[in-house]
Amino acid sequence: LVLHEENHYWFSPYVTQTEKTKIKIASKLKYSTKLLPEEKKGDIITYGPYKKHTPFSYSQCLLHFENNKPFITINRCSRLIEVSHWGNIAIEEKYQVTHDGAKFTGEFNRYDMQINPFGVKAAVPSFRVYLPISASDVYYRDDIGNVTTSNLRNSTTKQILDLRPRFTLFGGWKTLFTLGYNVPIYTFMSRLVSNGDTYVLNVTFTPEWDGAIVIDEQVTQIVLPEGASDIQVSLPFPVKEVRGRMYTYVDTNTIGRPTITLSKTNLVNEHCQYFIVTYKYSFLNLFIEPALLVGFFFIFFCIVIVLSRIQLQIGGKEEKNDLDMANLKSLRNIYDTREELHQKLDEALNQYLETKDEKKWQKDKKDIDNSFKELSKKVTKEIRHPNLVLKQIEDSQIVKEKLQLELHQLLIKYKSKLTTSESLALEVAIEIVMHKLWDSEEDIDLLIFQLQN
């Protein structure tokens, strides 16, 4: 139920000879004040005609009737208009919307709502917003994330966006969401022919909604490009204006982007009017941000080049090379000793294959193994601060020694009495081990060459 207050008479500073007032109500009338003559016909009440009433006459007219239409109130709308002379205007609107109709009482049952979604006439399932015909990259989200329940379609002069919140709004309920889109700069921007550095921005103060909407507080902020000056604002109605500056990613701390914040309370659809912002902006200011980016990366790479050439070790590069060469010389002496031990092992093996003296073979093999262990300890002791290549050389040498031992064992088996098939299998295994041994020797030679150069 709503209560409408009106004047029976035409409020005028002049004498009114005759008048008649017709009021059309939304639904069934519960109560109305009487002032004869009056006539009630359907949803229309006719007062009058009244004749010859004095100036500023007043007679209270009260109408009490049902109204099931929703009462949507935008408690606060924050509108951000960001201008970029690279060809785009970004608009973002943050809403806090409340259904100010009769408050919902009792418990909400979603099952009943799904069975009869149109049973509650005062509920608000969606909103309709009108966007410019050239709007693109439209997004609709809330604190949870992106809201996919929306429908965007084109008409002849504008785009129609139907926003469906995550839940139907009943009396006393509210919702918060964000709506944003981009438009080409030529849609709302023009340049004065008489002065090429003067630009004119022409946009609406409030967003355009469908139906009767009340906005308790509207805040519209215009962010102009860095370097804009001589800013003037012209509006068709009085507002509160605050000037400031905004600093984003590549803006300089000394300049920043000029901002104009316009705020007003108690607005209706009729306040959706265009206002004008004029300012001066030099074409050369477009290249400030690219120059800053180029300068930043140039300095960054210069720093990287300088740091890469700085020697952070206590010893210089020549001292490090001398140490590597000394280590390599020690390794060569150790490897020569290892080669002599391998030759002795080959001689002992050949002697064993001829004489079949097992005790002498085991004694010679044990002595040579002890010599190998002593050489391994010598490597750890004499090689100071080994680099990665030296470690790889040592690892390859160890692999080579294991392959030589494996080859000796295969040769011993091959000289024993075997069948033809066993001999063939051992010949294949010996050939595979010999190939691996050759590859290991090539790896060692390659690593030594890499270390020398």
Q: Give the DSSP H or E segment for 426.
A: helix 420-452
pLDDT of the residue at 441: 66
Cβ-contact 97, 169 below 8 angstroms = yes
pLDDT of the residue at 420: 62
Minimal CA–CA distance to 200: which of 256, 132, 262, 280? 280
For residue range 141-160, list pLDDT tens digits in order. Answer: 988 888 878 889 998 889 99
Burial class of 3 by CB neighbour count within 10 A (0 to 12, 13 to 18, 19+): exposed
Minimal CA–CA distance to 181: which of 288, 114, 93, 296? 93
Q: Give the pLDDT band of residue 312 (cuts 50, 70, 90).
A: low
In whole angstroms, what is the distance from residue 43 CA to residue 64 CA?
12
Minimal CA–CA distance to 210: which of 21, 322, 69, 406? 69
In whole angstroms, what is the distance from residue 187 CA to residue 401 CA?
81
From residue 53, alpha-carbon distances to 21, 38, 62, 96, 412 in Å are 14, 16, 20, 46, 137
pLDDT(239) > 90: yes
Q: Which residue has the higher pLDDT, 295 or 414?
A: 295
Q: Which residue has the higher pLDDT, 212 or 447?
A: 212
For residue range 336-389, list pLDDT tens digits in order. Answer: 777 777 777 777 767 766 777 777 777 777 777 777 777 666 665 555 545 566
The neighbour count for residue 196, using CB atoms within 10 Å, is 11
Cβ-contact 50, 18 below 8 angstroms = yes
pLDDT of the residue at 43: 82
In whole angstroms, what is the distance from residue 217 CA to residue 263 CA?
7
For residue range 136-146, list pLDDT tens digits in order. Answer: 999 999 888 88
For residue range 55-86, list pLDDT tens digits in order. Answer: 999 999 998 887 777 788 999 999 999 999 88
Backbone torsions φ then ψ of 272, nearest 5 degrees: -80, 75
DSSP state of 42: T
DSSP state of 416: S
Lowest mean pLDDT among 213-222, 242-251, 393-402, 423-432: 423-432
Q: How much is the pTM? A: 0.61
Q: Give the pLDDT band of residue 30 (cuts 50, 70, 90).
A: confident
